[in-house]
């Protein structure tokens, strides 16, 4: 335990939601680690959506729900100032030593709300910003507010460099901790399943996976595809599956309570995303000993794999993905070898390895004169 944590620092984590995505899993993993290491942790949630299942928060961590925003992020409605002032009041009342905010627009809102308070704010980026433009107004606000952040943390150097080239600020690269346990699953019986995990949105490229599997389905009759997650693209993906006559071979599972358990039984995991930042689902699949196939996005999978435990295919390449899957399905020994390598590599992203780096960052920021 660091010296600063012995003083029981109060850390406030701010998010829009508490379930449904990788950034929320990161938040809960961080909260758990800091709480276990002596910090007083509060999670502030700006909206409550009953359609999305919250991740489990460990006992002893306060969750404060403000219900400030709805399904559509309406910060720039006529009531924006009232919302910002309430957020400012709520955060000040918590008397935090540091506030950590999660994802671009919310980073901007928190920085605006805490302007002039002297409360340190660490903003975190979880998306590739060049693939997720915020619009002219938001981008201008991001440039104006990020210079006020105590630090802006990105999970890859590519994202950090992109931000630093376009705006002023204290930009830092740190990996995010994955909520994983590394075990020996080498002897596990694996189902003949290709699995993917994530929100059903265009970014995740599940339509690409369905098309790719459709190209080889008749040649691999014992194999199926399972996609775990929920989101607005469910109807479109269901129609795509029906049109391809893959209803018996491709399943949309919805939200799965224990994804890790299912991954430990799965032979191949695919991340077919069009773009990513630092995909937690990939780390989780590697920890489970899956053979993984991932899109070679401009940032994310390449840094995570680092040449170990999986195959990279061109992002958006349906033919390339189909060919890669067929080769791996036809070579079970190669699949098992890649799974072992993946589990070994995933150890680099456990909270035990990553969070001391975050603690060191906060220690340095809080001890620095302001």
For residue 4, what pLDDT band results from cuts at 50, 70 and 90?
Answer: very low
For residue 24, what pLDDT band results from cuts at 50, 70 and 90?
Answer: confident
Does the pLDDT of residue 368 top 70, yes or no?
no
- Predicted pLDDT of residue 369: 55
- Predicted pLDDT of residue 19: 77
Handedness of CA 210, 213, 215, 221 (dihedral sign): negative
Residue 203 tokens read as: 């970014």
Handedness of CA 157, 163, 164, 170 (dihedral sign): negative
Does the pLDDT of residue 370 top 80, yes or no?
no
Average pLDDT, the chain: 90
Architecture per CATH, domain 3-177+350-367, reads as 3-Layer(aba) Sandwich (3.40)
- Predicted pLDDT of residue 94: 96
Q: Identify the three-state secondary structure at position 48.
A: coil
Question: What are the tens digits of pLDDT across the range 120-165?
Answer: 999 999 888 988 888 898 899 999 999 999 999 999 999 999 999 9
Asked whether the whole model's pTM tops 0.95, one would answer no
Check: CB of residue 298 under 8 Å from CB of residue 279.
Answer: no
- Predicted pLDDT of residue 87: 94
Residues 6+ apart with CB under 8 A from 250: 210, 213, 224, 225, 226, 227, 241, 244
From residue 335, alpha-carbon distances to 192, 313, 347 in Å are 11, 16, 19
Q: Identify the three-state secondary structure at position 62.
A: strand
Does the pLDDT of residue 44 top 80, yes or no?
yes
How many helices (H) and strands (E) are present in the chain, helices listed first? Answer: 14, 13
For residue 52, what pLDDT band results from cuts at 50, 70 and 90?
Answer: low
Lowest mean pLDDT among 18-27, 30-39, 134-143: 18-27
Does the pLDDT of residue 6 top 60, yes or no?
no
Mean pLDDT of 314-332: 96
Q: At what angle do helices 206-216 and 234-243 cross, to 10 degrees?
A: 10
Mean pLDDT of 287-308: 91
For residue 81, what pLDDT band results from cuts at 50, 70 and 90?
Answer: confident
> Start-end ranges of CATH 3.40.50.2000 in the chain?
3-177+350-367, 191-349
Query: Residue 246 has what DSSP assignment?
Result: -
Does the pLDDT of residue 21 top 80, yes or no?
no
Residues 6+ apart with CB under 8 A from 146: 107, 111, 123, 152, 163, 167, 168, 169
Identify any residues that bridge with 64 across adjacent strands, giving them in sequence order: 44
Cα 304 vs. chain centroid, distance in angstroms? 13
* Rounded Cα gap, residues 49 and 66, in angstroms: 12
Does the pLDDT of residue 2 top 50, yes or no?
no
Q: Identify the three-state secondary structure at position 53.
A: coil
- Predicted pLDDT of residue 134: 86
- Predicted pLDDT of residue 260: 87
Q: How is 126-148 classified by DSSP, letter by letter?
A: -S-TTTS---HHHHHHHHHHHTT
Burial class (CB in 10 A: 0-12, 13-18, 19+), 221: exposed
- Predicted pLDDT of residue 184: 67
Residue with tokens 């970014």: 203
Mean pLDDT of 167-192: 84
Identify any residues that bridge with 254 across adjacent strands, giving them in sequence order: 228, 229
Lowest mean pLDDT among 75-89, 260-274, 352-366: 75-89
CATH class for the domain made up of 191-349: alpha beta
* Rounded Cα gap, residues 267 and 223, in angstroms: 10
- Predicted pLDDT of residue 65: 92
Which H helix or E strand runs over 235?
helix 234-243
Which H helix or E strand runs over 12?
strand 10-15
- Predicted pLDDT of residue 250: 98
């Amino acid at each position: 335990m660091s010296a600063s944590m012995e003083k029981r620092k109060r850390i406030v984590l701010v998010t829009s939601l508490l379930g449904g995505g990788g950034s929320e899993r990161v938040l809960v993993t961080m909260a758990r680690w800091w709480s276990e290491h002596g910090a007083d942790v509060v999670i502030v949630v700006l909206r409550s959506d009953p359609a999305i299942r919250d991740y489990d928060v460990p006992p002893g961590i306060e969750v404060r729900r403000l219900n400030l925003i709805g399904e559509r992020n309406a910060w720039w409605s006529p009531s924006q100032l009232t919302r910002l002032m309430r957020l400012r009041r709520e955060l000040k009342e918590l008397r935090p030593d540091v506030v950590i905010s999660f994802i671009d627009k919310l980073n901007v809102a928190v920085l605006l709300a805490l302007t002039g308070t002297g409360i340190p704010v660490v903003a975190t980026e979880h998306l590739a910003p060049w693939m997720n433009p915020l619009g002219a107004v938001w981008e201008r606000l991001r440039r104006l507010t990020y210079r006020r952040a105590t630090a802006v943390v990105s999970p890859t150097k590519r994202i950090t460099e992109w931000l630093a080239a376009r705006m002023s600020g204290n930009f830092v690269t740190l990996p995010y901790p994955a909520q994983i346990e590394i075990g020996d699953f080498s002897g596990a019986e694996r189902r003949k399943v290709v699995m993917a995990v994530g929100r059903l949105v265009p970014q995740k490229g599940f339509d690409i996976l369905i098309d790719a599997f459709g190209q080889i389905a008749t040649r691999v009759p014992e194999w199926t595809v399972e996609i775990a997650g929920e989101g607005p693209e469910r109807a479109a993906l269901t129609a795509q599956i029906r049109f391809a006559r893959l209803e018996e071979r491709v399943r949309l599972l919805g939200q799965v309570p224990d994804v890790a358990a299912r991954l430990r039984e799965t032979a191949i995991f695919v991340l077919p995303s069009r773009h990513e930042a630092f995909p937690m689902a990939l780390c989780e699949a590697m920890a489970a000993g899956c053979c993984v196939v991932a899109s070679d996005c401009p940032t994310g999978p390449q840094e995570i794999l680092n040449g170990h435990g999986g195959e990279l295919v061109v992002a958006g390449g349906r033919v390339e993905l189909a060919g890669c899957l067929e080769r791996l399905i036809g070579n079970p020994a190669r699949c098992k070898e890649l799974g072992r390598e993946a589990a070994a590599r995933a150890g680099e992203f456990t909270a035990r390895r990553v969070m001391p780096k975050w603690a060191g960052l906060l220690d340095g920021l809080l001890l620095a004169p302001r």
